[in-house]
Amino acid sequence: MFKKIIALLAIFVASPTLAADHMDLLISSYSTEDGSPVRIQHVMTHRLGVDWLSLRGISNLDLDSDANWTRIQLKPRVLVKGFEVGNFSFHAVDQLEYFETRRFDRTSNRVGAGTEYRLKTLSIEVNYMPYDSLTGDDRWDSYINWRKGKFAFNNVLWYVPKTGDRYEQATFIWKLNKRFSVQYQRQWFTKLDTIDRVGFAVRFMK
C-alpha cells in the first residue's frame, strides 16, 4: 500500500507551477496487452532553478479493470549540463528506476554521460551508462522528439550490448490544441509481444 501511495504521488503531485518546461499526463484507455490495463503515464522535463540542472523522466502506473495496479515504473533522471558547442550540449546523467509488478520488484541506478542535440523542432539525446547497480551491465539510452504543426513524434530506446536486450517505445501525437492531444504508442521489448496503446494526454506548462 505504501508503494502505491508513493507511486501515485510521484505521478500526480508534480505541480504545473514547478514545470519550467513541461509535464505531460497520458491516459491510455486502449491497449493490446494481456488484460488490457489502463496506463497512466507521466512525462516530465523540469529545470531545477538553473539552466545546467534538470529533472526528466517517464513514469507509468498500470491499472486493471477493477482499478488495481498491475505495474509501477518510476524512472526519473537527473542531468547536469557541462558545456555547449553549437547545437550540442554535453552532460552527466544519473537515472534511477523502480519497477514493480505483482510478481517482483527491483530498483536500479545508472550513471553515465551523454550529449543532446537541439535544432528548432528536433531534439535528440543519447546517453551511455557504463554502470548499472542492479546488473553491472552497460547500457545505451536515446530519446528523440520531433514536432511539426499539430503533429509530433517521440521515441525512447534503450539497448544492453552484453545481453542484446532492447526496449523501444514510439509515440505519435496529434495536438487538438496547446494542452490536449490524442496519442498512439507502440512498444517493443526483447522476447515479449509488441504492445499498442491509444489514449489522450494533457500538457501542463508554466
SS3 2: helix
126 in any annotated domain:
yes
pLDDT reported for residue 17: 41
Number of domains in the chain: 1
Please list the ranges in the chain whose pLDDT falls under 70: 1-22, 206
180 in any annotated domain:
yes
Q: Where does 13-93 have alpha helices with state H? A: none
The span from the CA of 21 to the CA of 196, in Å, is: 28
| Residues of the domain holding 192 | 2-200
Which CATH number is 63's domain given?
Answer: 2.40.230.10
Report the first-to-last Cα separation within the chain, whole angstroms: 32
Bridge partners, residue 169, by sequence: 156, 187
pLDDT reported for residue 51: 87
206 in any annotated domain:
no
- Running DSSP on this structure, what letter comes out for residue 135? T
pLDDT reported for residue 178: 87
Sign of CA dihedral 168, 174, 176, 177: positive
Question: CA angle, 146 as apex, 142 and 147 as ends, to 5°?
Answer: 160
123 in any annotated domain:
yes
> Global pTM?
0.86
205 in any annotated domain:
no
166 in any annotated domain:
yes
24 in any annotated domain:
yes
114 in any annotated domain:
yes
The span from the CA of 153 to the CA of 155, in Å, is: 7
Please state, as a whole number, how many other Cβ atoms lie within 10 Å of the Cβ of residue 167: 15
